Amino acid sequence: MARVADTDTELYDPAELVRLNQTEAMVSVVAIISGTGEVVGHFALERIVGSAVAEVGEAIVLAEHRHRHLMEAMLAMLEDHARGLGLAGIFAQPVTNHLFSQKANERCGFRSCGVTLGVLSRAYRNTPEPQQQRGSLLLDFKYLQPPTPAIRHVPLHHQAIAARIYEMIHATVDFGLAPPATGSGRLVSKSFAAGQVAGIRVLRVGTDSAEEVARARRDLERAGAQAVILELPLAQSGTPALCQALEAEGFSFIGIGPCFAADGDVLRLQTLTEELDFAVPRIETPFARELLAYAASQRKRIIQPREYHPDQKGIFMS
């Protein structure tokens, strides 16, 4: 699963940068001033073992050398390397406390397909001063190969926004039918950023998946996780029912992860223990603002007390 919230820590540890490049877990590109050898920029491709996608990040350009399109030039080199590896796509997670990285991603053909809410602490080191609330990230994606047509089992109530996402990233979508899951499920979980943020990925949807995800979430939160990111496999027909069950447990929609799973795309949901003011994040593109607004509406829908709808006996509406 993709890392979140600790995306730039290696930049402040040169020895770790060297180690990661030696193991090929990271491929770094640097911008150097000709004649002096001064390093004025860095961008990296971070590979995920067994994944069809890689993250581009660890980006920095010295302030006095910005507006020279150094980030775009470094990214082009990383894209060429990723294509050489046969990767299906690359993604980035720009912060929402400034617009610099968002603008660069937009110019380079990335399109937003989700947000990740409240995963940066108020003291996140990439900001000039402590923030008034936990910071959020966008999820931007770019295909490097033409996407393969596939059925994505998106829950009915999220299909409109999912169709918009697929339109923006230039992929056709067929939502298909959704028979219930059978058998036992399987998942993995992992903590990031000193345990404050955690991820759960469902590898196989089974009849016990809702219970297992809820148990994993409780364990992660007891260990200190303030945000838990959940990824559900859209190639599997049990995902819509599982999504609805987990929304009843407090998970809310935050986007789509193209090619994030071994069998295709993932539906991204999350929980967050802290409330957010959704007017605070700075967002560059109209569609990214649309995604943030949708995520805010879904979080509000999920955490509101459920009310009985008198016209639908036994159904609780929110």
Instruction: Determine the length of the chain.
Output: 318
What pLDDT digit, counting tens, does each position of 69-121 carry? 898 899 999 999 999 999 999 999 999 998 988 998 999 999 999 999 999 98
Q: What ranges in the chain are assigned the alpha helix state H?
A: 14-22, 70-84, 100-107, 159-168, 209-222, 239-247, 286-303
Phi, psi of 87 (to 5 degrees): -70, 150
pLDDT band at residue 131 using 50, 70 and 90 as cut-offs: confident
Distance separating alpha carbons of residues 253 and 112, to the nearest angstrom: 14
Residue 12's pLDDT is 66
Angle between helices 100-107 and 70-84 (to 10 degrees): 50
Residue at token pair 């775009």: 72
Domains of the chain with bracketed CATH: 9-148 (3.40.630.30), 186-304 (3.40.630.30)
pLDDT beyond 50 at 154: yes
Residue 175's pLDDT is 94
Share of the chain above pLDDT 90, in %: 67
Residue 7's pLDDT is 47
Predicted TM-score (pTM) of this structure: 0.88
What pLDDT digit, counting tens, does each position of 50-76 carry? 789 999 988 888 988 888 889 889 999
Phi, psi of 54 (to 5 degrees): -140, 155
Q: Buried b / exposed e across 41-73, counting CB within 10 Å, b at 16+? A: bbbbbbbeeebbbbbbbbbbbeeeeeeeebbee
Residue 316's pLDDT is 30
Angle between helices 239-247 and 209-222 (to 10 degrees): 40
Query: Which among 61, 65, 60, 59 has a CA at the least distance from the CA of 45?
Result: 59
Angle between helices 286-303 and 159-168 (to 10 degrees): 160
Share of the chain above pLDDT 70, in %: 89
pLDDT band at residue 148 using 50, 70 and 90 as cut-offs: confident
pLDDT beyond 50 at 313: no
Query: Which among 61, 71, 114 has a CA at the least distance from the CA of 91?
Result: 114
Q: Are 141 and 113 in contact (CB under 8 A)?
A: yes
The residue type at 242:
L
Q: Are 153 and 236 in contact (CB under 8 A)?
A: yes
Task: Sort 282 into a burial class: Cβ within 10 Å, 0-12 / 13-18 / 19+.
Answer: exposed
